[in-house]
Amino acid sequence: MSRPELIAPPEIYYGDSEAKKYTQNTRNQQIQADMTYRALELLNLPPEEPAFLLDIGCGSGLSGEILDQEGYAWVGVDIAPSMLEVALEREVEGDLFLQDIGQGFGFRPGSFDGAISISVLQWLLNAETSHHTSSPPHRLHRFFTTLHSALRNPSRAVFQFYPSSDDQIQLITSTAQKAGFGGGIVVDYPNSKKAKKVFLCLFVGGGGGQQEIPKGLEGVEEEGSKVRFERRRDRERLRGKGGIRKKVKDKDWILKKKELYRRRGKEDVPRDSKYTGRKRKPVF
């Protein structure tokens, strides 16, 4: 089966039907969640500190939901209107922008504490399949230079993507380095065809040991058609150490959610009152 980025541009491939089908697929949901958690590990954000993140190619908000659950504020950008419509229907909390990332970003310098991107970067390498006239190297250059500006110093950006060749990896990493980034490629489970995942881990600024390229995960065994990971990420353990925080739906959270709905023009948002967020007594 052909790779999606070879069939049509993302804004065409992910039409109304495909956007809903992709979002409702439980396998896609699980894969997206696993890769988002792994991207957050590689992002290595300071524990118990608020962070404002950029989700590049946010789609219908599957990764954004993970960011919500972990207590991060975020902004999402995507080129597919149908994907963003699904995200709005699902009432994700991040602010959403319709944007061609190959044209670069217009955010103020130092706006974000970090960035993640899941299964998106390879689309920039196939610009010739779209109506865009610029070549992949030019689009990558605009993408990385404007992203570098939008990130604070120091910070990280982590991309999970599907390269089709070593030449593509070389083009991406060299373009990122020319834009001012440090870092490199992290490969999880390199000896497994099914579990292998490629991440680009980029650094802005210094930071000593905090800005060293992480090691990829090892230790995969294949049993029949299933892949068994010897090392599973223990999310509850991370939360217990304060590295990632579960959001509590208190009064402030409810007020923030209602204000978000109002900005988006949602009707019938309940008005604020002294009873907003108040716990109700149990009824026996």
Q: What is the rounded distance in angstroms from the CA atom of residue 136 to the CA atom of residue 194? A: 28
pLDDT the model gives residue 159: 98
Of the pLDDT bands very low, low, confident and very high (cuts 50, 70, 90), residue 133 is low
Which residue did the predictor score with more confidence, 61 or 231?
A: 61
Residue 67: both structure tokens together = 């960011």
Residue 3 pLDDT grade (very low, low, confident, very high; cuts 50, 70, 90): confident
The answer on pLDDT for 236 being more than 80 is no
- Across the chain, which distance is largest between two alpha carbons, in Å? 67
Is 204 a residue whose pLDDT tops 70? Answer: yes
pLDDT band at residue 188 using 50, 70 and 90 as cut-offs: very high
- Is the pLDDT at 209 greater than 50? The verdict is no
Cis peptide before 270 (omega within 30 of 0): no
Interval 116-133 mean pLDDT: 78
- Report residue 227's pLDDT band, with 50, 70 and 90 as the boundaries: very low
Characterize 93-132 residue by residue with b for buried, 16 or more Cβ atoms within 10 angstroms of its Cβ, and e for exposed. Answer: bbebeebbbbebbebeeeebbbbbbbbbbbbbbbbebbeb
Angle at 109 between CA 42 and CA 213, to 5 degrees: 20
Look at 209 and 20; give whichever has higher pLDDT. Answer: 20
Contact 113, 51 (CB under 8 A): yes
Q: Which CATH class is domain 4-247?
A: alpha beta
Of 58-62, 171-175, 236-240, 269-273, the one with minimum mean pLDDT is 236-240
Every domain of the chain and the residues it spans: 4-247
Indicate the pLDDT class of residue 142, thresholds 50, 70 and 90: very high
